[in-house]
């Protein structure tokens, strides 16, 4: 149990690499940078494999290890009443949680991460800021591992923010390029909108259950499922969390940052913006599955947003010319698939697609990086062509990736995508069947744009300049080895989730749906599709519609394979023999549609008008800038006007008050009264002349007078 108990080393290794790079990287030689940074991730991968091995053989449902008390104290003074019981003590223990769900992420994050680090050694070899790049990459690994190994929402949020930061830093790696720094800002700010949702959601979870711990929240949600079902507060909490997932995983309203994130170096696009970070949203939703299961409305929102994102991004991908942007929209679209699965309650299917997607999308991105490398930095597919023979390893591996993503039978994408399509068709008794049509159309589009990419890049006639053509060369071994490894994974990863329905007719008796059953302890509340129920050990009474369901599943498989073939055929017809100039059939048939797709449905322009306000509509400016200007006007007129008005009024009152005080209070009342008294008292004063002898004389005369009066009268 050594590796399991020291699982925190997996976090510490990349953190150490990053720290080393940030403080001393400038002075280190490239081979030391390689040794530390790639080595730390490689070691983390091995450690993770060993830990997962020990975990799966320990028989524990989950492994939780509290490392230290992060927030709050041991005195339990801060008691916060929670809605549905729970400890209600604000104390957050930083710890690691390893359960099947985090195992999956742990393995592919460290595994794919290691391969991409290795690839970067070749790809970034000629770039400046080599140590900086690897420092950021290691910091990213640390953040991502914190995110997936955290045992509570708050610690997960630390990782969540960390990956956002690294994403920002790496998109803006070429910060001297204006478009790169703008794209980095765009990614960061868009993610912040989602992060607000995560904060709100996490705090609402704490409010409800009095704890942030995943395990306890899940337990309480399961224990009180009947009373909590459909409670509005759970709906709002899950929707807030899903907003965060939308930001991080580039779902519909907040997806705009991901295509722009392609400004970063290609390994970054592969690691962060295809394989790992963008699946953090899926991870969080899957991690909160106990809560989401209690909020059917939120689930419906997740499913619909996922499906809409899938078809929306796929349709944009049909006409993009930048090789990386096609892949970026493909990523958005595939993430939509994952959320579709989650929203339908098929958490395991969604996670399975995350798993397979990590391999083939990383492969495709790294392949595109290899192509760009060969093309001396050219990214526009209209300037490529006929590279098949010149960079054969890249071509073959990319072709495997393409076959995997489009769902060619018995490659990984086929299993995971078909699982999702089948769930869309059958989940909740076919309630969401309309989403199946959407997903099916998306599958067709996926096939079309991926084969378009292949045909434009590797087939037809070379359209690059002679100088570039002369330079075309296969990438070095550090780049091709990861490609080959990922290609092998792309082929075979799907067999972990080999469906039961296929195993029987093919006469395979090996364990099926291993992936789903491995995750089963995590997704206790997952909906059980009837046709799949037979994998349960206990012989359940056979549902009536089962055979029909199974044949339906075959039919759907055939349909999606057909869609793949049609997409491939269309792409061949349109681009297979491209000569000098690329012909766009969509442009030929419906130019307005083509323009709309090429301009990404004008969503960026729409956001510029409504959200950022960079574009003014006539004299009116909306969005943030408009709001700022409006605020300025309000501030300058209303607020400052109020302040100045208050000042003016004070001065006016003060003037009146001075006048009143001078003339009325002091003048009339005080001095006037004194004057009256003074003038009235003047005659009396005249009597008091102060000479005692005179007073005595007056007295004598008075007595004499009185004497005379009484005597002489």
The answer to whether 509 contacts another protein (rule: CB under 8 A) is no
The answer to whether 679 contacts another protein (rule: CB under 8 A) is no
Stretch that binds another protein, among 27-35, 308-316, 488-496, 682-690 (CB under 8 A): 682-690
Contacts of 149 (CB under 8 A, 6+ apart): 7, 8, 10, 11, 96, 97, 98, 102, 106
The answer to whether 680 contacts another protein (rule: CB under 8 A) is no
The answer to whether 685 contacts another protein (rule: CB under 8 A) is yes
Q: Binder to another protein among 540, 606, 696, 706 (CB under 8 A)?
A: 696
Cβ proximity of 422 and 440 under 8 Å: no
Contacts of 126 (CB under 8 A, 6+ apart): none
Cβ proximity of 585 and 303 under 8 Å: no
Q: Binder to another protein among 700, 702, 706, 707 (CB under 8 A)?
A: 700
The answer to whether 709 contacts another protein (rule: CB under 8 A) is no
Q: How far apart are CA 599 and CA 601, in angstroms?
A: 6
For the bound state, the minimum distance from the C-beta of residue 669 to another protein, rounded and expressed in Å, comes to 24
For the bound state, the minimum distance from the C-beta of residue 684 to another protein, rounded and expressed in Å, comes to 10
Q: How far apart are CA 118 and CA 479, in angstroms?
A: 7
For the bound state, the minimum distance from the C-beta of residue 703 to another protein, rounded and expressed in Å, comes to 10
What character string, x for contact with another protein (CB under 8 A) and - otherwise, covers 633-672? ----------------------------------------
For the bound state, the minimum distance from the C-beta of residue 712 to another protein, rounded and expressed in Å, comes to 18
Provide the 10 A C-beta neighbour count for residue 386.
17
Q: How far apart are CA 633 and CA 614, in angstroms?
A: 18
Cβ proximity of 249 and 278 under 8 Å: yes
Give ∠ CA 136-138-142 in degrees, rounded to 5. Answer: 115
Stretch that binds another protein, among 40-48, 99-107, 392-400, 690-698 (CB under 8 A): 690-698
Stretch that binds another protein, among 65-73, 344-352, 498-506, 696-704 (CB under 8 A): 696-704
The answer to whether 620 contacts another protein (rule: CB under 8 A) is no
Q: How far apart are CA 489 and CA 491, in angstroms?
A: 5
Q: Binder to another protein among 506, 510, 620, 691 (CB under 8 A)?
A: 691
- Report the residue number, 620 or 684, with the smaller CB distance to another protein: 684
The answer to whether 697 contacts another protein (rule: CB under 8 A) is yes
Stretch that binds another protein, among 132-140, 156-164, 615-623, 689-697 (CB under 8 A): 689-697
Tokens standing for 464?
Answer: 């690059």
- Pick from 183, 163, 165, 164: nearest CA to 174: 183
Q: Binder to another protein among 75, 226, 679, 693 (CB under 8 A)?
A: 693
- Report the residue number, 68 or 682, with the smaller CB distance to another protein: 682
- Report the residue number, 77 or 684, with the smaller CB distance to another protein: 684
- Report the residue number, 31 or 685, with the smaller CB distance to another protein: 685
- Pick from 293, 491, 198: nearest CA to 206: 198
- Pick from 363, 281, 378, 376: nearest CA to 327: 363
Cα–Cα distances in angstroms (integers) from residue 37 to residues 11, 267, 483, in the given order: 13, 14, 20
Type and span of the H or E element at 542: none
Q: Binder to another protein among 690, 709, 710, 711 (CB under 8 A)?
A: 690
Kindly list the residues in this chain that would bind another protein in the complex (CB under 8 A): 685, 688-693, 696-697, 700
């Amino acid at each position: 149990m050594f590796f399991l108990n020291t699982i925190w080393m997996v976090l510490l290794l990349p953190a150490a690499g990053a720290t080393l790079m940030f403080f001393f990287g400038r002075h280190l030689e490239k081979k030391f940078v390689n040794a530390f940074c790639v080595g730390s991730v490689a070691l983390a991968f091995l450690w993770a494999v060993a830990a997962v091995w020990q975990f799966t053989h320990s028989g524990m449902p989950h492994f939780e290890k509290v490392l230290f008390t992060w927030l709050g104290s041991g005195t339990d003074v801060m008691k916060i009443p929670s809605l549905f019981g729970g400890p209600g003590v604000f104390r957050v223990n930083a710890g690691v949680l390893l359960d099947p769900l985090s195992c999956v992420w742990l393995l592919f994050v460290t595994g794919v991460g290691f391969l991409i680090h290795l690839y970067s050694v070749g790809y970034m070899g000629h770039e400046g800021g080599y140590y900086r790049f690897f420092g950021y990459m290691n910091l990213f690994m640390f953040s991502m591992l914190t995110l997936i190994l955290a045992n509570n929402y708050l610690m997960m949020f630390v990782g969540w923010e960390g990956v956002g930061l690294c994403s920002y830093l790496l998109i803006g790696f070429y910060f001297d390029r204006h478009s790169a720094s703008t794209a980095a800002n765009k990614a960061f700010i868009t993610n912040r909108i989602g992060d607000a949702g995560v904060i709100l959601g996490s705090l609402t979870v704490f409010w409800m259950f009095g704890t942030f711990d995943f395990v306890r929240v899940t337990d309480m949600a399961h224990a009180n499922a009947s009373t909590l079902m459909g409670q509005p507060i759970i709906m709002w909490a899950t929707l807030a969390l899903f907003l965060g997932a939308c930001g991080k995983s580039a779902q519909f309203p907040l997806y705009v940052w991901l295509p722009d994130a392609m400004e970063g170096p290609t390994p970054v696009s592969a690691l962060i913006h295809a394989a790992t970070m963008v699946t953090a949203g899926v991870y969080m939703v899957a991690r909160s599955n106990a809560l989401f299961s209690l909020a059917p409305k939120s689930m419906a929102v997740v499913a619909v947003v996922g499906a809409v994102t899938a078809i929306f991004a796929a349709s944009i991908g049909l006409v993009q010319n930048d090789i990386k942007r096609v892949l970026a929209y493909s990523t958005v679209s595939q993430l939509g698939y994952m959320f579709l699965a989650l929203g339908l309650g098929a958490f395991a299917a969604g996670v399975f697609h995350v798993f397979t997607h990590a391999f083939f999308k990383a492969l495709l991105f790294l392949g595109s990086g290899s192509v760009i490398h060969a093309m001396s930095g050219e990214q526009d597919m209209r300037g490529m062509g006929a590279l098949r023979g010149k960079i054969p390893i890249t071509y073959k591996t990319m072709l495997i990736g393409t076959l995997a993503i489009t769902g060619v039978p018995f490659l990984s994408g086929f299993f995971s995508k078909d699982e999702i399509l089948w769930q869309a068709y059958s989940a909740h008794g076919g309630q969401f069947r309309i989403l199946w049509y959407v997903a099916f159309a998306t599958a067709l589009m996926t096939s079309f744009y991926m084969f378009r990419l292949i045909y434009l890049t590797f087939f037809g006639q070379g359209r690059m300049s002679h100088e570039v053509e002369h330079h075309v060369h296969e990438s070095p071994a550090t780049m091709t080895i990861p490609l080959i490894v990922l290609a092998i994974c792309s082929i075979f990863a799907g067999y972990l989730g080999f469906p039961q329905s296929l195993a029987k007719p093919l006469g395979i008796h090996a364990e099926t749906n291993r992936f789903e059953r491995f995750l089963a302890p995590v997704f206790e509340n997952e909906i059980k599709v009837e046709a799949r129920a037979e994998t349960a050990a206990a012989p359940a009474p056979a549902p009536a519609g089962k055979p029909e369901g199974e044949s339906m599943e075959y039919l759907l498989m055939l349909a999606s394979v057909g869609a793949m073939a049609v997409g491939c055929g269309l792409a061949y017809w349109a681009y297979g023999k491209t000569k000098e100039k690329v012909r766009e059939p969509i442009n030929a048939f419906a130019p307005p549609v083509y323009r709309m797709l090429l301009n990404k449905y004008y969503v960026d322009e729409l956001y510029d008008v409504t959200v950022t306000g960079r574009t003014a509509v006539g004299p009116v400016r909306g969005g943030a800038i408009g709001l700022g200007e409006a605020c300025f006007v309000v501030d300058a007129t209303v607020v400052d006007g109020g302040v100045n008005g208050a000042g003016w009024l004070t001065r006016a009152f003060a003037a009146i008050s001075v006048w009143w005080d001078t003339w009325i209070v002091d003048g009339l009342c005080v001095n006037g009264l004194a004057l009256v008294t003074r003038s009235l008292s003047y005659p009396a004063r005249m009597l008091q002349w102060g000479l005692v002898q005179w007073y005595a004389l007056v007295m004598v005369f008075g007595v004499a007078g009185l004497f005379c009066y009484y005597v002489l009268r």
